[in-house]
C-alpha cells in the first residue's frame, strides 16, 4: 500500500495508480448514462409516458447533484478511501434493485440513489490532484478525467449493445458486479488520506456558501460548464430517439456504433490538461465553448435523413464531446490551483452546479422532442451554450 505522506513529499503519482483512478472514475460515472440511449424502451417497460421519460436520466443526475453538495465535501474532513468505498457499496445495491424492481416509484428512487453514490468519482479526482505536483497537475487531472470521460462516452454504446442482446435490465446487473469488484480493489490499493482539519460537518456545509461567494472563478467556470453540459445532456438524451425513429430506423446496435464515435472526444482531455499547464487556459476555453456551439449549429443547418445527415450528426457528436471534455478539464485545472484544503468542496460545488444544468437539459430534451421533434430540441439545446460563450466574452484578460 502507498504511503500518502511519503507520496506528498515526493510529489509524484505512480503511473499505475493514475491509470487505476482513471479507470475507476470511468466505471463509476458510466452509471449516470447507461439509461440515456435506452430512455424509450425503459419508459415503455416501466410505464412512463413520453412527456416524463426524461426523468429516467434526470433523477440520476439530480441524485448526483445532491451527492456533490452533501457527500463530496466530506472528502475534506473524512478519510477518503472509506468514503469512496462506502459510496460504491451503496451504488451497487441500488443498481441491483433498479434491475429487479417492477414498482415504478421504487425504480425512480433507486435511479436517484445511483446518482447519489456515483459521486465517489468526484472524491477520486481531487484525490489525484493531492498526489500531483503543481507543474504537472493539469496533466494528471487530465489523464484521470480522460478515464471519467471515456466512461461517459462508452456507457452509451455499451448499454445499447447489452440491451440489444440481453434486455435493458442486464446493464444494471453487470454494472453492479463491476462496482462491487472496484470497491474491493480500491479498498486494498488506494492510499489513506485523512484530512488534518477538525471542522464539523455543518460548519463545512456553511463554508461552501462562503467559497461560492468569495471565489469568482468558481462561479464563472461553473456557469460556463453548466451551459455546455445542458446542451450535451439534451443532445444525447434526444439523438437516440431520433435515430430509432421512422426517419432513420436505427437498431440499438446501430445507435451503439453512432455513440461510439463520441469516444474520440475523450482525447481532448489529456491534451487540454497539458495545454492548461502551459498557461493558455483562456484561449483554450474560448475554443472549447465555440466548438460546442458549432457542434449544435451543424445539424440545425443541415437536417436530412440521408447519408449526409448521418455524417453531420457524427461530426456534431464528435465536436460536442471534444468541446465539453476540454472545457471540463480546463475548469478543474483552474479550481485545483486554488486552496488545497478546500478542493473537495470546490469540486463539489462546481460539479453540482454544472450537473444541475445537465439535469435540466435532459428533462427539457425529452419534453422538447415529444412536443416539437428534433429541430425544436436542437434550437432549445443550443441556447445554454450560446449563453456560456457570451458570458465568456466578458472575462477579463487577467482572469484565470
pLDDT tens by residue, 357-396? 888 898 888 789 888 889 999 999 999 999 999 999 998 8
pLDDT at 27 over 70: yes
pLDDT at 297 over 90: yes
Cα–Cα distances in angstroms (integers) from residue 200 to residues 76, 77, 241, 247, 304, in the given order? 10, 8, 47, 56, 57
Per CATH, the number for 14-392 is 1.20.1250.20
pLDDT of residue 9: 40
For 360-396, give one letter per residue: b (16+ CB within 10 A) or e: bbbbbbbbbbbeeebeebbebbbebbbbbbeebeeee
pLDDT at 49 over 80: no
State pTM to two decimals.
0.78
Please give the share of the chain, as a percent, with pLDDT higher than 70: 93
Cα R_g (the chain), whole angstroms:
20
Q: Which residues contact 319 (CB under 8 A, 6 or more apart)?
A: 265, 291, 292, 294, 295, 298
Q: What is the pLDDT of residues 223-243, one digit of tens each?
A: 999 999 999 989 988 888 888
Q: What is the pLDDT of residues 86-115, one digit of tens each?
A: 999 999 999 999 999 888 889 899 999 999
**Average of per-residue pLDDT values in the chain:** 86
Lowest mean pLDDT among 88-92, 132-136, 177-181, 214-218: 132-136
Lowest mean pLDDT among 93-97, 118-122, 130-134, 317-321: 130-134
pLDDT of residue 220: 95
Q: What is the pLDDT of residues 131-141, one digit of tens each?
A: 777 666 677 77
Cα–Cα distances in angstroms (integers) from residue 287 to residues 83, 173, 264, 293, 320, in the given order? 36, 40, 17, 10, 12
Q: Which residues contact 311 (CB under 8 A, 6 or more apart)?
A: none
pLDDT of residue 6: 43
Least Cα distance to 351 among 128, 190, 126, 127 occurs for: 126
pLDDT at 145 over 80: no
pLDDT of residue 8: 43
Amino acid at each position: 500500500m502507498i504511503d500518502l505522506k511519503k507520496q506528498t513529499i515526493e510529489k509524484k503519482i505512480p503511473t499505475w495508480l493514475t491509470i487505476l483512478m482513471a479507470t475507476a472514475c470511468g466505471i463509476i460515472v458510466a452509471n449516470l448514462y447507461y439509461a440515456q440511449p435506452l430512455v424509450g424502451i425503459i419508459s415503455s417497460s416501466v410505464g412512463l409516458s413520453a412527456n416524463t421519460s426524461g426523468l429516467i436520466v434526470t433523477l440520476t443526475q439530480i441524485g448526483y447533484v445532491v451527492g456533490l453538495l452533501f457527500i463530496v465535501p466530506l472528502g475534506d474532513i473524512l478519510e477518503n478511501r472509506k468514503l469512496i468505498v462506502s459510496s460504491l457499496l451503496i451504488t451497487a445495491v441500488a443498481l441491483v434493485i433498479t434491475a429487479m424492481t417492477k414498482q415504478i416509484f421504487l425504480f425512480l428512487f433507486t435511479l436517484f440513489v445511483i446518482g447519489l453514490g456515483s459521486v465517489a468519482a468526484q472524491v477520486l479526482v481531487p484525490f489525484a490532484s493531492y498526489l500531483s505536483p503543481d507543474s504537472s497537475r493539469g496533466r494528471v487531472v487530465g489523464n484521470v478525467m480522460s478515464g471519467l470521460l471515456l466512461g461517459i462516452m462508452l456507457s452509451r454504446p455499451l448499454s445499447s449493445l447489452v440491451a440489444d442482446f440481453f434486455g435493458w435490465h442486464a446493464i444494471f446487473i453487470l454494472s453492479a458486479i463491476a462496482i462491487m469488484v472496484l470497491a474491493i480493489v480500491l479498498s486494498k490499493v488506494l492510499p489513506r488520506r485523512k484530512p488534518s482539519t477538525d471542522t464539523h460537518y455543518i460548519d463545512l456545509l456553511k463554508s461552501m456558501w462562503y467559497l461560492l461567494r468569495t471565489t469568482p472563478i468558481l462561479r464563472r467556470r461553473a456557469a460556463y460548464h453548466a451551459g455546455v453540459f445542458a446542451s450535451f445532456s439534451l443532445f444525447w438524451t434526444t439523438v437516440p430517439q431520433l435515430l430509432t425513429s421512422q426517419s432513420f430506423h436505427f437498431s440499438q446496435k446501430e445507435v451503439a456504433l453512432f455513440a461510439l464515435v463520441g469516444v474520440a472526444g475523450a482525447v481532448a482531455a489529456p491534451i487540454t490538461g497539458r495545454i492548461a499547464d502551459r498557461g493558455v487556459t483562456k484561449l483554450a476555453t474560448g475554443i472549447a465553448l465555440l466548438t460546442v456551439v458549432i457542434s449544435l449549429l451543424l445539424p440545425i443547418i443541415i437536417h436530412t435523413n440521408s447519408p449526409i445527415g448521418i455524417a453531420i450528426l457524427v461530426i456534431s457528436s464528435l465536436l460536442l464531446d471534444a468541446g465539453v471534455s476540454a472545457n471540463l478539464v480546463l475548469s478543474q485545472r483552474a479550481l485545483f490551483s486554488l486552496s488545497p484544503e478546500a478542493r473537495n468542496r470546490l469540486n463539489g460545488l462546481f460539479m453540482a452546479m454544472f450537473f444541475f444544468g445537465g439535469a435540466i437539459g435532459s428533462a427539457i430534451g425529452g419534453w422538447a422532442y415529444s412536443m416539437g421533434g428534433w429541430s425544436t430540441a436542437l434550437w432549445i439545446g443550443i441556447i445554454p451554450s450560446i449563453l456560456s460563450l457570451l458570458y465568456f466574452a466578458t472575462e477579463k484578460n487577467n482572469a484565470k
